[in-house]
């Protein structure tokens, strides 16, 4: 079962803040006679605003916009293949794409090489600063806010008395990971520098073939989601009103705001009304999981297109508040052989595949929106087959656990 971090007053603390979100269950367990040989996960995202700048190469993406590239959304694709079989020779697999993807005939699914590090661990700096946590849409923060986490105390094993972790009844969703596969391959990777463009398309036939899994074939008729555009405007009493466009096919929305201030203090606010932070809400989510989270008041329903950031968050965060907004989307599932209509017939698929969609954006809460900052330029995006994009930085683990680990000086 997945886990979210919940914050409530007057509850004993937990002994750890490390979050784990690896979900190994496969769908239809009651009908399956055995697990599939191969599992394939394809996560497709649309990024706009400052999220597109970061995804397009950080400062290089920003310079491209200012030089006439316009505030163009970009696309991201995360491919993962996991198998119960060993490879015949060195692991090798390819995802053969439709021409509209603009990625050439295929992209390689590379098996990571895990090598132990001989470098001694360096002592981290003495942690300092605090994390102030707020939640919920409204002009003013609710009672018992903020929860304050002192990083120096956390490093000594002292946790705030109002902080604990609890399970959230999110439908179990299978995941493909290096750690739960006998043989594993992924893209993006260091073997190719191909990138998607804003006008890349997923529509058409897809084929995944390699030497450690059965051949996988499926056709997609759902393309990348449209971009989501977040805007912020001052509200009465010092609060900030967030608003966004209704994204077609969106199943729900989730917003958060973050600020890092001089002196080491950080401020974090989430739109969740149930005091739940981090975890799967920063990932791709199935429509079933989103429906459950809407019922738990963690995710906003697709009919909601605005939320007010409390005045206390704006006051505590200062001028450098960064806003982020997710629109979760549909999901497509494939299997071979297909699941029998009669539930009494045992089903043992050779492979299962899943395609998930989302759209997200980022912007400066107290600054102009990205459409005002950058010239719109041409509607034509650059070709996606650029061979020299800047290298991506290693990402820290998501959720509060990763944030606290970084702040406490213990690495990502």
pLDDT, position 260: 86
Q: 286 near 267, Cβ under 8 Å? A: no
Q: What is the DSSP letter of 71?
A: S
Question: Which of 275, 371, 267, 272 shows the shortest CA–CA distance to 321?
Answer: 267
Helix (H, G, I), strand (E, B) or coil at 16: coil
CA dihedral of residues 270, 271, 273, 274 (deg, nearest 10): -40
pLDDT computed for residue 379 by the predictor: 42
Q: What is the pLDDT of residue 162?
A: 54
DSSP states along 126-172: PP--EEEEEESSSSS--TT--EEEEHHHHHTT---TTEEEEE--PPP
At residue 393, the pLDDT reads: 43
Smallest Cα–Cα separation from 79: which of 109, 114, 46?
A: 109
Do residues 267 and 261 lie in contact, with contact meaning Cβ atoms separated by under 8 Å?
A: yes
Length of the chain, please?
412
pLDDT of residue 150: 85
pLDDT of residue 158: 74
Give the pLDDT of residue 343.
Answer: 87
* pLDDT < 70 stretches in the chain: 1-34, 53-71, 115-126, 160-172, 278, 366-412
pLDDT at 8: 39
**Given this model, what pLDDT does residue 124 score?**
60
The closest alpha carbon to 358, from 76, 101, 100, belongs to 76
- Give the torsion through C-alpha atoms of 342, 343, 344, 346, to 10 deg: 100
Q: What is the pLDDT of residue 179?
A: 92
Six token digits for residue 313 = 């968050």
Q: Are strands 230-234 and 240-244 parallel, antiparallel or unpaired?
A: antiparallel
The confidence score (pLDDT) of residue 249 equals 95
Q: Which tokens hold the place of 205? A: 């036939």
Q: Output the pLDDT for position 317.
A: 87
Torsion of CA 271, 273, 275, 280, to 10 degrees: -60
Q: What is the pLDDT of residue 285?
A: 93
Structural domain boundaries in the chain: 3-9+35-113+125-388+395-407
Question: What's this model's pTM, rounded to 2 decimal places?
Answer: 0.78
Query: Could you report the per-residue pLDDT of 7-61, keeping only the tens digit for each?
Result: 433 333 222 322 222 333 344 445 555 689 999 999 999 999 887 765 544 333 3
């Amino acid at each position: 079962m997945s886990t979210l971090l919940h914050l409530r007053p007057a509850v004993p603390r937990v002994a750890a803040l490390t979050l784990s979100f690896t979900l190994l269950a496969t769908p239809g367990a009651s009908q399956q006679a055995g697990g599939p040989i191969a599992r394939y996960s394809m996560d497709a995202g649309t990024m706009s605003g400052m999220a597109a700048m970061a995804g397009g190469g950080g400062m290089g993406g920003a310079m491209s916009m200012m030089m006439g590239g316009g505030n163009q959304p970009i696309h991201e694709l995360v491919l993962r293949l996991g198998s119960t079989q060993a490879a015949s020779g060195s692991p090798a697999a390819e995802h053969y794409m439709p021409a509209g993807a603009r990625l050439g005939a295929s992209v390689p699914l590379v098996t990571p090489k895990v090598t132990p590090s001989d470098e001694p661990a360096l002592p981290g700096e003495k942690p300092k600063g605090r994390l102030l946590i707020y939640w919920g849409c409204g002009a003013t923060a609710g009672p018992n806010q903020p929860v304050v986490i002192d990083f120096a105390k956390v490093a000594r094993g002292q946790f705030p008395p109002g902080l604990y972790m609890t399970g959230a009844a999110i439908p179990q969703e299978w995941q493909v990971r290096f750690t739960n596969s006998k043989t594993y391959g992924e893209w993006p990777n260091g073997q190719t520098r191909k990138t998607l463009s804003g006008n890349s398309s997923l529509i058409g036939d897809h084929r995944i073939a390699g030497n450690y899994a059965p051949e996988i074939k499926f056709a997609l008729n759902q393309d990348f989601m449209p971009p989501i555009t977040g805007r912020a405007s001052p509200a009465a009493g010092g609060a900030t009103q967030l608003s966004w466009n209704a994204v077609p096919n969106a199943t729900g929305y989730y917003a958060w705001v973050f600020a890092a201030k001089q002196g080491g203090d950080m401020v974090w606010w989430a739109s969740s009304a149930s005091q739940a932070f981090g975890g799967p809400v920063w990932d791709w989510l199935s429509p079933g999981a989103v429906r459950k989270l809407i019922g738990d008041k963690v995710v906003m329903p697709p009919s909601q297109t605005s939320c007010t950031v409390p005045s206390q968050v704006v006051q505590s965060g200062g001028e450098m508040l960064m806003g982020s907004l997710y629109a979760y989307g549909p999901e497509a599932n494939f299997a071979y052989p297909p699941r029998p209509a009669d539930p009494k017939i045992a089903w043992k698929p050779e492979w299962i595949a899943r395609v998930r969609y989302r759209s997200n954006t980022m912007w400066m809460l107290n600054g102009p929106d990205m459409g005002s900052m950058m010239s719109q330029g041409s509607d034509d995006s650059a070709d996606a087959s650029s061979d020299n994009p800047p290298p991506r930085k290693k990402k820290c683990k998501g959720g509060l656990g990763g944030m606290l680990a970084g702040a406490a000086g213990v690495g990502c």
